[in-house]
C-alpha cells in the first residue's frame, strides 16, 4: 500500500473535521483496465443533479447474488446487531448500501469489491471446513468463533491475516452504512443540521466535564 492509499484509508476513517476529506478523497481516479468480473458502468458524472435522490441500482448495476446477500446480512448484523438504542445494520439498509458501494465504477469501490467478494468466499470456505455449512447457515455462536479469529488485525494469527483485513474493511463499511442513516445519527445523538438563531458553543456541563469551567 503506497503512502497515498494509506492516507486515504486513515483519513477515510477520520471522525474529525470534514476539511480533512480534501486529501482523503481528492486523488481518486477511475479504475483502469477493469477485469472481466467487473461490470462495465460509468459513474454519475461530474455534473449530477444534486437535488435528486436515486433509487437503488439506478446509477449502476448491482452485484450481490442471493447467497452473497445472505452472507452480507449475517455479517453486517454480527458487526452491528440491534440493541436497546438502535436497530441492526441490515434493518436500516446497510446490505443495500454495501451492494451499491462495491458495484460502483470508482477506484476505491473497485478495491473494496475485491476485498469483500474474496472475503465472502473465504468465510464460506472457513465455515465449511469448521461446520460443514456456508457462513449464513451457521448459528450466531458458530459465526462468532470465526469472527473472533479475524476481528483484530494486530492480533490475528498469520493464516488469518488476509481475512482479518477483510473483516476490518467490512466493519468499517458496515459502520459507515449504518451511521450515515437517520437511525445511525440518532444512535450517536447527533443533534446538528438544523438552523439556529445563534451559536452558543458548548453548554457549561460540557466545559466542566473537560475541566475548562
Partner 1 sequence: MPFITSAIAAKETYDVIVVGSGAGGGQTAYTLTMDGARILMLEAGRNYDPVSETPMFHTPELAPLRGEGTADKPFGFYDATIDGGWQVPGEPYVQTRTDDAGRFDWWRARMLGGRTNHWGRIALRNGPYDFKPYTRDGLGFDWPISYEDMAPYYDKVEMLVGVYGANEGLENTPNSPPGCLLPPPKPKVSDLLVAARAGKLGIPVIPGHRAVLTQQLDWKTSPAKLHPGNAAAQKIIAEDMQRRAACFWATPCGRGCSIRANYQSTTVHLPPALATGKLDIVTDAMVNEVTLGKDGRATGVGFVDKTTGKHQQVSARVVVLAASACESVRILLNSKSSLFPHGLANSSGKVGKYIMDTVGSSLDGQVPLLESLPPHNEDGASGLHMYIPWWLYQQAAKLGFARGYHVEFGGGKGMPDVGTAAGLEWLTGGSYGAKFKQDARRYYGSFVGFDGRGEMIPNEHSWCEIDPSVKDKWGIPVLRFHWQWSDHETRQAAHMQKTFAEIIEAMGGRVRGHVETDGAKAIAPGGSIIHEVGGAIMGADAKTSVTNKWCQTWDVKNLFLTDGAPFASNADKNPTLTIMANAWRVADRILERMRQKEL
Show the DSSP H helices in 56-139 as ranges: 66-79, 94-103, 107-131
25 Cβ contact list (under 8 Å, min separation 6): 8, 11, 12, 108
Binding status of residue 126 toward partner 1 by CB under 8 A: no
Q: Looking at beta carbons only, is 15 or 36 nearer to partner 1?
A: 15
Does residue 50 bind partner 1 (CB under 8 A)? yes
Name the grid cell of 46.
Answer: 461530474
Min CB(45)–partner 1 separation in Å: 6
Which of residues 72 and 151 has its CB atom nearest to partner 1 in the complex?
151
Does residue 25 contact residue 8 with C-beta atoms inside 8 Å?
Answer: yes
Positions 171 through 210 that interact with partner 1 (CB under 8 A): 171-173, 175-182, 184-185, 187-203, 205-207, 209-210
Is 80 a residue that touches partner 1 (CB under 8 A)? Answer: yes
Tell me the number of residues near partner 1 by CB under 8 A: 98
Long-range contacts of 79-86 (CB under 8 A, 24+ apart): 79/170, 79/171, 79/174, 79/175, 80/174, 80/175, 80/178, 85/187, 86/183, 86/184, 86/186, 86/187
Site for partner 1 in 94-123 (CB under 8 A): 97, 100-101, 104, 106-109
Site string for partner 1, 128-157 (x = CB under 8 A): ----------------x--x---xxxxx--
68 or 79: CB nearest partner 1: 79
Angle CA(132)–CA(96)–CA(59) in degrees, nearest 5?
Answer: 130
Amino acid at each position: 500500500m503506497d503512502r497515498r492509499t494509506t492516507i486515504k484509508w486513515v483519513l477515510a476513517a477520520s471522525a474529525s473535521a470534514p476539511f480533512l476529506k480534501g486529501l482523503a478523497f481528492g486523488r481518486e481516479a477511475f479504475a483502469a483496465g477493469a477485469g472481466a468480473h467487473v461490470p462495465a458502468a460509468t459513474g454519475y458524472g461530474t455534473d449530477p443533479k444534486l437535488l435528486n435522490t436515486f433509487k437503488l441500482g439506478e446509477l449502476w448495476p448491482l452485484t450481490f447474488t442471493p447467497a452473497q446477500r445472505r452472507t452480507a446480512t449475517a455479517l453486517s448484523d454480527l458487526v452491528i446487531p440491534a440493541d436497546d438504542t438502535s436497530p441492526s445494520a441490515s434493518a436500516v439498509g446497510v446490505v443495500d448500501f454495501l451492494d451499491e458501494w462495491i458495484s460502483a465504477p470508482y477506484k476505491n469501490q473497485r478495491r473494496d469489491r475485491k476485498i469483500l467478494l474474496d472475503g465472502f468466499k473465504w468465510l464460506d470456505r472457513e465455515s465449511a471446513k469448521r461446520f460443514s455449512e456456508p457462513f449464513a447457515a451457521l448459528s450466531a455462536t458458530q459465526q462468532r468463533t470465526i469472527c473472533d479469529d479475524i476481528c483484530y488485525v494486530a492480533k490475528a494469527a498469520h493464516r488469518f491475516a488476509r481475512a482479518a483485513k477483510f473483516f476490518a474493511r467490512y466493519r468499517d463499511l458496515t459502520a459507515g452504512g449504518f451511521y450515515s442513516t437517520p437511525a445511525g445519527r440518532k444512535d450517536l445523538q447527533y443533534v446538528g443540521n438544523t438552523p439556529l438563531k445563534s451559536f452558543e458553543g458548548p453548554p457549561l456541563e460540557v466545559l466542566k466535564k473537560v475541566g475548562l469551567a
